[in-house]
């Protein structure tokens, strides 16, 4: 697949050939669904906690005797049917995380990259950084490619300066080529792929690498 490479000013520079094994695959919607659900589950904190009947504070004594009052039978004040009583089958702290096969995760990422490339949401831009680390400098560059929409920038390395410049920009996230997140990548309305990251992706997700 051939894609045009743009400068930071939004001008066409040249054409780059993207690996069809990464950017030209058929879209596998099932594996994308499983990968996104897996990421969301792994992010859950799971700290919700309620007290059961044995854990709430209160007396074990019955409020009145069993028979002779004409009222319904009652247990102690910790009964779940009373105000302040225990909770029936309430949530307890738990771990929601689980693992999916690495091959499935890699296939999901490649399917999303292919989806974004084939839907023209993916734009290849020459390698750049923001030496000043200022937000306004990065906003000026992004204005040539995205207009107030959820944007993802795929970096070729861990560029601290560009991340510093973009941390105050809403709806903007940064992903390194070797640590892509299916959720952010799938829901990005505009994906800006640095030219160096495009080459790294082809090597990182190559089939021969998976076979090793």
Helix (H, G, I), strand (E, B), or coil: what is residue 106? Answer: helix
- Please give the Cα distance from 174 to 35 (Å, whole number): 19
Contact yes or no for 35/100 (Cβ under 8 A): yes
Residues 6+ apart with CB under 8 A from 173: 151, 152, 153, 184, 188
Q: ∠ CA 169-175-176 to the nearest 5 degrees?
A: 140
User: Per-residue confidence of the chain (212 residues) as pLDDT tens digits?
Assistant: 888 999 988 888 899 999 889 999 999 999 999 999 999 999 999 999 999 999 999 889 998 999 999 999 989 999 999 999 999 999 999 999 999 999 999 999 999 999 999 988 999 999 998 988 899 999 999 998 988 899 999 998 888 999 999 999 999 999 999 999 999 999 999 999 999 999 999 889 875 454 44
Is the pTM above the cut of 0.85? no
């Amino acid at each position: 697949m051939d894609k045009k490479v743009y400068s930071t000013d939004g001008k066409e520079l040249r054409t780059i050939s993207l690996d069809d094994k990464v950017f030209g695959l058929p879209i596998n919607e099932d594996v994308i669904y499983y990968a996104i659900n897996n990421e969301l589950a792994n992010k859950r904190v799971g700290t919700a906690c309620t007290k059961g009947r044995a854990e709430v504070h209160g007396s074990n004594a019955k409020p009145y005797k069993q028979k002779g009052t004409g009222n319904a039978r009652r247990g102690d004040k910790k009964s779940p049917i009373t105000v302040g009583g225990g909770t029936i089958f309430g949530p307890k702290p738990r771990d929601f995380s689980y693992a999916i096969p690495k091959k499935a995760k890699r296939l999901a990422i490649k399917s999303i990259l292919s989806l974004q490339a084939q839907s023209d949401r993916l734009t290849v831009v020459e390698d750049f950084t923001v030496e000043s680390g200022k937000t306004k400098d990065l906003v000026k560059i992004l204005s040539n490619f995205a207009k107030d929409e959820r944007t993802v920038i795929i970096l070729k390395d861990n560029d601290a300066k560009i991340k510093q410049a973009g941390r105050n920009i809403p709806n903007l996230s940064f992903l390194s080529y070797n640590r892509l997140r299916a959720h952010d990548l799938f829901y990005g309305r505009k994906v800006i792929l640095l030219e160096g990251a495009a080459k790294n992706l082809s090597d990182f997700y190559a089939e021969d690498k998976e076979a090793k």
